[in-house]
């Protein structure tokens, strides 16, 4: 870990950093974005038990607050898109899963698709990652990755349920 990465003890006394670092998942030495996405899976599981309108309300709160949370944490630690800031991955995964019915298979494919888009960063994700700054920029590339993953997952579900 670099000198700008907070410790878990420091996260425990700063709720904004605790959220930004995905409840500590962003402190992983390897693949913090993947660990942040894994942290989103139980959140999705809980949200999947509610009406879609409730899911949407929570998703909007996660996304809108995430702009401030990620921007504040980045400013506090002095690194624009620190790898440990994973609230954007949580938001991106929740967005990926919004349009499909709950199933273990959807959770797994949604995870894989979101991580692929987030890691490979095809256009327009790479453009957003390089051109947009601040908390909005930290969130935007993951939200675009979430939309692209969601489109693929939705298409897979359409194919799966209409082909049989």
Q: Is the residue at 48 inside a domain?
A: yes
Q: What percent of the chain has pLDDT over 70?
A: 98
pLDDT exceeds cutoff 70 at 164: no
User: For the chain, what is the radius of gyration of the CA atoms?
Assistant: 15
Q: Is the residue at 3 inside a domain?
A: no
What range defines the domain where residue 116 resides?
A: 8-163
Over range 104-132, report the average pLDDT: 95
Q: How far is CA 151 from the centre of its chain?
A: 16
Q: Is the residue at 135 inside a domain?
A: yes
pLDDT exceeds cutoff 90 at 138: yes
User: How many domains does the chain divide into?
Assistant: 1
Q: Is the residue at 2 inside a domain?
A: no
Output the pLDDT for position 69.
Answer: 97
pLDDT exceeds cutoff 70 at 135: yes
In tens, the pLDDT along 61-112 reads 999 999 999 999 999 998 888 889 999 999 999 999 999 999 999 999 999 9
Q: Is the residue at 126 inside a domain?
A: yes
Output the pLDDT for position 1.
Answer: 54
The whole-angstrom separation of Cα 67 and Cα 54 is 20
The structure's pTM equals 0.93
Output the pLDDT for position 16.
Answer: 94
pLDDT exceeds cutoff 90 at 149: yes
Output the pLDDT for position 7.
Answer: 78
Q: What percent of the chain has pLDDT over 90?
A: 80
Q: Is the residue at 51 inside a domain?
A: yes
Q: Is the residue at 63 inside a domain?
A: yes
């Amino acid at each position: 870990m670099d000198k700008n990465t907070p410790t878990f003890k420091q996260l425990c006394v700063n709720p904004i950093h605790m959220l930004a670092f995905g409840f500590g998942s962003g402190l992983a030495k390897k693949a913090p974005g993947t660990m942040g996405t894994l942290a989103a899976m139980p959140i999705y599981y809980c949200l999947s038990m509610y009406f879609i309108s409730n899911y949407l309300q929570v998703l909007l709160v996660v996304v809108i607050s995430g702009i401030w949370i990620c921007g504040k944490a980045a400013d506090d630690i002095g690194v624009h898109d620190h790898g440990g800031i994973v609230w954007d991955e949580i938001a991106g995964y929740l967005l990926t899963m919004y349009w499909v019915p709950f199933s273990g298979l959807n959770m797994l494919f949604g995870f894989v698709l979101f991580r692929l888009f987030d890691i490979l960063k095809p256009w327009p994700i790479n453009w957003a990652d390089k051109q947009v700054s601040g908390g909005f920029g930290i969130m935007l590339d993951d939200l675009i990755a979430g939309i692209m993953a969601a489109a693929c997952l939705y298409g897979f579900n359409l194919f799966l349920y209409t082909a049989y």
